[in-house]
Chain A
Amino acid sequence: MNTPTQNTTTAGRIGAPTFHGSSLELHNVTMAYGDIDVLRNVSLTVAPGTTTCIIGPSGSGKSTLLRGINRLHEPKSGDVLLAGDSTLGTNPDTLRTRIGMVFQHFNLFPDHTAEENVALALWAVKGMPRAQAMDRARQRLAEVGLAERADHRPRDLSGGQQQRVAIARALAMEPEVMLFDEATSALDPELVKGVLNLMAGLGRRGMTMLVVTHEMGFARKVADQVVFMDEGEVVEAGTPTQLFDNPRSERLQRFLSEVL
């Protein structure tokens, strides 16, 4: 996938964009905090435009894995390939413009309005003129259903709305891959579905997504591939049917019996 662009059909009314996600490959990635290896020899392939859900207990290295992909934390060894090319030798700032990330606690900028949150990186990183960046921001907000809330500060938005702004902010950079780090774990129960539907919509429209989640229903329904991790290793990976209906490892059987 060499054309990491996002065509937004905006003839008159706001249309839904389509995405051209890139492939993502991890080869024997090991990551450490100090002397402790928190991720050991993880290999994973995510095909372009597919959704992979990573499930597993807290502390199993799921978030660390995501942070290794956009190099918020540098892998100790192994390799990560985006669209077929190794990411580790490249400039991390450039790499991160190609990978969107959504956090559990939204991490919106509290002193910026919703549209300013989305526009900031467009002018500060991509060098887009401010007026154009704000236009683009309002367009992205409209796509996640927040056209009316563009001039609100984060504290005047609900958790669900804040997470939508965060998703719009990541999408505005036209990423080839989206990483979701427990994006719905901090939301009001009533608002979880709305954000999950939005994520599912991205997947259907061609985005490559890596989703760390505790929402088993979402993983089963939306994922093309499910990965179960424990103690810093991939224990089992496969289709949702394989993992949820025929778990092979004892560890996954145990996990599923506790959470389902």
Chain B
Amino acid sequence: MDWFNTIIRTFFDFGAMAEVLPQLLAVGLLNTLIISIAATVLGTVLGMVVAVMGISPSKWLRIPARIYTDLFRGLPAILTILLIGQGFARLSQSIFGPSPYPLGIIALSLIASAYIGEIFRAGILSVDKGQGEACRALGMSYAKSMALVVVPQGVRRVLPALVNQFIAIVKDSSLVYFLGLLVTERELFRVGQDAAVLSGNLSPLVAAGLFYLVITVPLTHLVNHFDNKFRTGRRRAAPPTSGLKEVKELDAASPLTTGSNT
């Protein structure tokens, strides 16, 4: 059972894991969550702008949105992060100080906004055309009908897809380490990686991996749960009813049909 012991020692050395645990929790998990949540919030706001531009009747809004989306979805995340993180380092230094942390968040947000924009666009386009028409027929402007009726319905439909996107961002947040973070700014992957290099053992990385799973797996199942709920709807089962009930009720109660003052 020599190979078995080797595997245990390489991947599941609980002593090494326990040693890195405080750092994983206090530094790694915290930073991973900060980076992911900030990138998701920024990405969602930007994504909504991209989506609304993408469905605009004006091609001057549509074409830039299309190019933006193709660009950030088509490039590998690592390439985008490096280009932005290093390319704008000078500018970032004058605004945020020497840390590349904010630039990492911005790069992740830009990538996320391209995907989220597509999610929103698909959601908004899936709303029945009659909804917008009903708004317009009532005298609402295009902007109002979008903001008050069409977009809210579209967004509600794609909430599960947004959670999936958050999961993708959590995983991609590990790439920010390429920009070179300060010791206190390291996210899960970097904390695990550093400890693995120091101890010559992969167990700290496995521990970091477990933390990712602790975030992503419950969310995945939460999404599936909500997805099922959305699909089946909240309508309760009702006993069979007679159409006559409604016919009588409505005719009796409608002054426009039966009212007296003509």
Which of A101, A124, A170 contacts B148, CB < 8 Å? A124
CA distance A161 to B241 in the complex (A): 15
Instruction: Give 8 CB contacts A-B under 8 Å.
Output: A70-B137, A93-B139, A94-B139, A97-B138, A120-B138, A143-B256, A194-B254, A197-B254
CA distance A14 to B127 in the complex (A): 36
Instruction: Say whether B45 faces chain A, with CB atoms less than 8 Å apart.
Output: no
Instruction: Say whether A85 faces chain B, with CB atoms less than 8 Å apart.
Output: no
Q: How many positions in chain A have a CB within 8 Å of any CB in the partner chain?
A: 55
Instruction: Say whether A44 faces chain B, with CB atoms less than 8 Å apart.
Output: no
The interface residues of chain B lying within 8 Å CB-to-CB of A9 are: 261
CB-based contact A96/B246 at 8 Å:
no
The interface residues of chain A lying within 8 Å CB-to-CB of B78 are: none
Point out residues on B near A: beta carbons under 8 Å.
128, 130-131, 133-141, 144, 148-149, 152-153, 156, 233, 235, 243-244, 246-247, 249-262
CB-based contact B153/A188 at 8 Å:
no
Interface contact tally, CB-CB below 8 A: 129
Instruction: Say whether A47 faces chain B, with CB atoms less than 8 Å apart.
Output: no
CB-based contact B262/A204 at 8 Å:
yes
CB-based contact A145/B250 at 8 Å:
yes
Point out residues on A near B: beta carbons under 8 Å.
9, 14-18, 70, 72, 93-94, 96-97, 99-101, 103, 105, 107-111, 120-121, 124-125, 142-148, 155-156, 158, 160-161, 164, 166, 169-170, 173, 188, 190-191, 193-194, 197-198, 200-202, 204-205
The interface residues of chain B lying within 8 Å CB-to-CB of A96 are: 136-139
The interface residues of chain A lying within 8 Å CB-to-CB of B252 are: 145
CB-based contact A191/B131 at 8 Å:
no
The interface residues of chain B lying within 8 Å CB-to-CB of A142 are: 255
CA distance A202 to B262 in the complex (A): 10
CB proximity of B70 to chain A, nearest CB, Å: 28
Q: Which of A156, A200, A201 has the most CB of B within 10 A?
A: A201
Q: Which of A16, A143, A156 has the most CB of B within 10 A?
A: A16
CB proximity of B51 to chain A, nearest CB, Å: 19
Q: A16-B256, A145-B257, A205-B262 are in contact. Are A101 and B137 (CB under 8 A)?
A: yes
CB-based contact A201/B131 at 8 Å:
no
CB-based contact A145/B136 at 8 Å:
no
CB proximity of B254 to chain A, nearest CB, Å: 3
The interface residues of chain A lying within 8 Å CB-to-CB of B148 are: 120, 124
CB-based contact B137/A109 at 8 Å:
no
The interface residues of chain B lying within 8 Å CB-to-CB of A108 are: 134
CB proximity of A161 to chain B, nearest CB, Å: 7
Which of A17, A170, A194 contacts B250, CB < 8 Å? A194
CB proximity of B141 to chain A, nearest CB, Å: 6
The interface residues of chain A lying within 8 Å CB-to-CB of B136 are: 72, 93, 96
**A167, closest chain B residue (CB):** B256
The interface residues of chain A lying within 8 Å CB-to-CB of B128 are: 107
CB-based contact B137/A161 at 8 Å:
no
CA distance A105 to B134 in the complex (A): 10
**A169, closest chain B residue (CB):** B138
The interface residues of chain B lying within 8 Å CB-to-CB of A143 are: 254-256
The interface residues of chain A lying within 8 Å CB-to-CB of B140 are: 93, 121, 124-125
**A166, closest chain B residue (CB):** B134
CB-based contact A202/B246 at 8 Å:
no
Q: A190-B244, A194-B251 are in contact. Are A125 and B139 (CB under 8 A)?
A: yes
CA distance A70 to B134 in the complex (A): 12
Q: Which of B133, B249, B256 has the most CB of A within 10 A?
A: B256
Q: A107-B130, A142-B255, A145-B257 are in contact. Are A194 and B137 (CB under 8 A)?
A: no
CB-based contact A197/B257 at 8 Å:
yes
CB-based contact A15/B255 at 8 Å:
yes
